[in-house]
Chain A
Amino acid sequence: DADVTQTPRNRITKTGKRIMLECSQTKGHDRMYWYRQDPGLGLQLIYYSFDVKDINKGEISDGYSVSRQAQAKFSLSLESAIPNQTALYFCATSERTSGSAEQFFGPGTRLTVL
């Protein structure tokens, strides 16, 4: 079984709809992250969480919110989706160690907002 799972893998929605992307991990890591990937732009950090009570905004948090329901679960919400939020979204985890800690990525959720 995969260590970092994301649901759904693909989602098509309409402008104005609320949508939630979910991430679960079995690695036992404290830290979890949400990234957005757009072609030619690399990955940009949306939100990150160092533990259940510690949630922080990343580079591009406007229009997004998150919830850390448990150590193993970290959800990303789009309260009112808009077309420029069409992208590939990745969840990642890492250990609570130094900055050299590797991040482990989920398989991604492809979101299309019409």
Chain B
Amino acid sequence: AQSVTQLGSHVSVSEGALVLLRCNYSSSVPPYLFWYVQYPNQGLQLLLKYTTGATLVKGINGFEAEFKKSETSFHLTKPSAHMSDAAEYFCAVIRVYSGAGSYQLTFGKGTKLSVIP
């Protein structure tokens, strides 16, 4: 069964500093991995995803993530934090149910990012 662990429920960074949000997964098959962002009082939106191919994935708003199979990790980074990056971030992995096409997302518990001026 697939699962996701996000290290750190709260992360604070200074404006302009590196953002690093950690995600480790467990999966018995090659996974599909996602990062979603939730701004206050809004739904989730996709930041980026890894399916196959290049292990460094670039997303919206300057974020990127690197799939490292040997470390079972998919950490999210951004070189320079902006105030507008303050939000909650969720890592997710596909869970494959029985039956063709039965793909479901399993979410981590989320990491709330605060950006200090």
Q: Contact at B110–A40, with CB atoms within 8 Å?
A: yes
B residues adjacent to A (C-beta < 8 A): 9, 32, 34, 36, 41-46, 49, 51, 90, 94, 96-97, 101-105, 107-110
List the A side residues contacting B41 at CB < 8 Å.
107-108
Q: Contact at A40–B109, with CB atoms within 8 Å?
A: yes
List the B side residues contacting A74 at CB < 8 Å.
none
Q: Contact at A106–B43, with CB atoms within 8 Å?
A: yes
Write the A23-61 contact mask toward B (1 if CB under 8 angstroms, else 0): 000000000000000001111110010100000101000
Besides the known contacts A50-B102, A56-B97, A99-B96, 18 further A-B residue pairs in the complex with CB atoms under 8 A apart: A4-B43, A42-B109, A43-B90, A43-B105, A56-B102, A58-B104, A92-B43, A98-B51, A99-B32, A99-B103, A100-B51, A100-B94, A102-B34, A102-B49, A105-B36, A106-B43, A108-B41, A108-B42
Jot down 10 A-B pairs with beta carbons below 8 A, ordered by A: A40-B109, A42-B108, A43-B44, A43-B107, A50-B101, A102-B46, A103-B44, A103-B46, A105-B45, A108-B41
A interface, by DSSP: helix, strand, loop or mixed?
A: loop
Distance between Cα atoms of A43 and B93 in the complex (Å): 12
